[in-house]
């Protein structure tokens, strides 16, 4: 895409009311716009990143055997009353609204009840299970405060997967598959090597749940990491009994600040029982499926990548989720840039082409801010030296390569956005 046609512009400063680093950089780069605390619009560059994250997650969910659905935001109180999650004193983050006739409606913050109720139409036998359904859908949470940029929002895109199994053992086996799949997702999104499966409190359903925590100073959580065993313990459950149960040695643990980028929960039979979802086993006995739920906030993951990987000059996108693979920058008008841009486009290599009539300093600092992995600069100087200057976003020094070499750096991105 030609940068002269991209409607967003970068800005030198983030808005004064933006306290988070992630949203600060994303707003400056023209990725998102803050509409109010915890509510962000996605602009073309930001939406490209969000869709690449979506593609990575969808591929992993499909590989697990997940079937994709799209549940509704508007929710009838009836099913939430059955599970005891309608009243504001039970769940304090509902946005509520109503139909013209006064009938109250919820604006969904999660979908256990909705999915369980829906599956009553489709599950009756042990042959219908196990079943894994997921969606990538906008959630609404009426947070009292929202100061973490796009990482804790009142409106946000979430992947929520739910599993329905015939026994605790069948559930556990799938739960472990999801845990591996989550590590794949965070690895593919660029957070590998700094993200740990972390034992955490299970809330009311289970002794434990598992969080996925990315080490980062901006994190709201404190975890204790065993870097050899590749696991961690959340501060909230950190005591001698838990360490003993997990076989962890206190002296090998490192205390770190971390961002929770995903979590997986055993749910037991609570929701299925409350809503009357049951099946008949091989002997004709009526049984209740064992559930699990598995969430990843897409904006939270995007925000975590910005927090963890940016530097003092701007964002550093991993290749897998970068809005473009190449940032081609023409300093001064030259025919070579136009030709290279056409070659890259012809080869379906995602390229942002800075063809703007702007100063060199502005173009280069915008490129650092936007954070595209490969920067290719073509100027009179580079042409005289034999080609183009290339530099990866996280490298200090550029080097000159021949024009014919540029395409070699441009392999197609696995999560290309059309």
Query: Which positions lie near its own copies, rule CB under 8 A?
Result: 5-9, 11, 30, 33, 35-36, 39-44, 47, 50, 58-59, 62, 65, 67-76, 95-100, 105, 107, 114, 118-119, 121-123, 128, 131, 133, 138, 140, 142-144, 154-155, 418
Q: How far apart are CA 22 and CA 215, in angstroms?
A: 15
Quick one: 41 or 201, whose CB is closer to its own copies? 41
- The least distance separating its own copies from the CB of residue 3, rounded to whole angstroms, comes to 12
- The least distance separating its own copies from the CB of residue 8, rounded to whole angstroms, comes to 5
The CA R_g of the chain, rounded to the nearest whole Å, is: 24
Quick one: 155 or 256, whose CB is closer to its own copies? 155
Quick one: 142 or 365, whose CB is closer to its own copies? 142
As a dihedral over the C-alpha atoms of residue 243, residue 246, residue 250, residue 252, rounded to 10 degrees, the angle is -160
- The least distance separating its own copies from the CB of residue 121, rounded to whole angstroms, comes to 7
- The least distance separating its own copies from the CB of residue 122, rounded to whole angstroms, comes to 5
- The least distance separating its own copies from the CB of residue 6, rounded to whole angstroms, comes to 7
Quick one: 101 or 204, whose CB is closer to its own copies? 101
- How deeply is 70 buried, as exposed, middle or buried, from its count of CB atoms within 10 A (0-12, 13-18, 19+)? exposed
Q: Which of 260, 248, 270 is nearest to 186 (CA)?
A: 260
48 Cβ contact list (under 8 Å, min separation 6): 323, 324, 417
3-state SS class at 295: strand
- The least distance separating its own copies from the CB of residue 105, rounded to whole angstroms, comes to 8
Quick one: 28 or 194, whose CB is closer to its own copies? 28
3-state SS class at 182: helix
- The least distance separating its own copies from the CB of residue 342, rounded to whole angstroms, comes to 18
Q: Which of 156, 161, 240, 237 is nearest to 199 (CA)?
A: 237
Q: How far apart are CA 371 and CA 350, in angstroms?
A: 14
Quick one: 5 or 240, whose CB is closer to its own copies? 5
- The least distance separating its own copies from the CB of residue 96, rounded to whole angstroms, comes to 6
Q: How many CA atoms lie within 13 A of 221 on its CB side?
A: 27
- The least distance separating its own copies from the CB of residue 137, rounded to whole angstroms, comes to 9
Quick one: 96 or 399, whose CB is closer to its own copies? 96
Query: Which residue is it, tokens 């696995």?
Result: 414
Residue 307 contacts residue 21 (beta carbons within 8 Å): yes
Quick one: 60 or 221, whose CB is closer to its own copies? 60
Q: How far apart are CA 222 and CA 239, in angstroms?
A: 14
As a dihedral over the C-alpha atoms of residue 20, residue 23, residue 24, residue 28, rounded to 10 degrees, the angle is 180
Q: How far apart are CA 328 and CA 372, in angstroms?
A: 10
Residue 45 contacts residue 306 (beta carbons within 8 Å): no
Quick one: 70 or 286, whose CB is closer to its own copies? 70
């Amino acid at each position: 895409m030609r940068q002269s046609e991209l409607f967003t512009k970068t800005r030198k400063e983030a808005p004064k009311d933006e306290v988070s680093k992630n949203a600060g950089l994303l707003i400056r780069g023209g990725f998102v716009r803050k509409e109010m605390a915890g509510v962000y619009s996605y602009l073309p560059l930001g939406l490209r990143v969000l869709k690449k994250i979506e593609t990575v997650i969808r591929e992993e969910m499909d590989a697990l055997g997940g079937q994709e659905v799209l549940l509704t935001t508007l929710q009838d109180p009836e099913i939430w009353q059955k599970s005891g999650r309608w009243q504001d004193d039970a769940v304090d983050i509902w946005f509520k609204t109503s139909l013209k006739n006064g009938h109250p409606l919820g604006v969904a913050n999660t979908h256990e009840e909705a999915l369980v109720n829906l599956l009553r139409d489709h599950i009756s036998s042990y042959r219908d299970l196990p079943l894994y359904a997921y969606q990538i859908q906008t959630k609404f949470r009426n947070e009292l405060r929202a100061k973490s940029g796009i990482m804790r929002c009142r409106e946000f895109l979430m992947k929520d997967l739910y599993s329905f199994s015939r026994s605790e053992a069948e559930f556990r086996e799938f739960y472990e598959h999801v845990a591996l799949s989550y590590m794949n997702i965070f690895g593919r999104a660029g957070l590998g090597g700094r993200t740990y499966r972390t034992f955490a409190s299970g809330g009311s359903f289970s002794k434990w749940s598992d969080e996925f925590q990315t080490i980062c100073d901006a994190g709201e959580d404190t975890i204790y990491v065993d870097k050899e065993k590749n696991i961690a313990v959340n501060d909230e459950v950190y005591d001698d009994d838990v360490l003993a149960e997990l076989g962890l040695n206190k002296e090998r643990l490192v205390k770190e600040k971390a961002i929770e980028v995903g979590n997986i929960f055993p749910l037991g039979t609570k929701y299925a029982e409350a809503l009357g979802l049951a099946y008949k086993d091989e002997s004709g006995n009526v049984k209740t499926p064992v559930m699990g739920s598995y969430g990843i906030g897409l904006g939270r993951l995007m925000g975590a990548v910005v927090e963890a990987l940016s530097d003092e000059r701007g964002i550093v996108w991993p290749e897998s989720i970068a809005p473009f693979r190449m940032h081609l920058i023409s300093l001064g008008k030259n025919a070579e840039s136009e030709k290279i841009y056409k070659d890259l486009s012809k080869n379906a290599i995602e390229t942002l082409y800075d063809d703007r009539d702007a100063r060199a300093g502005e173009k280069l600092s915008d490129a650092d801010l936007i954070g595209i992995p490969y920067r290719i600069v073509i100027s009179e100087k580079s042409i005289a030296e034999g080609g183009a200057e290339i530099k990866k976003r996280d490298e200090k020094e550029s080097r000159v390569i021949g024009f014919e070499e540029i395409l070699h750096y441009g392999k197609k991105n696995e999560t290309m956005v059309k």
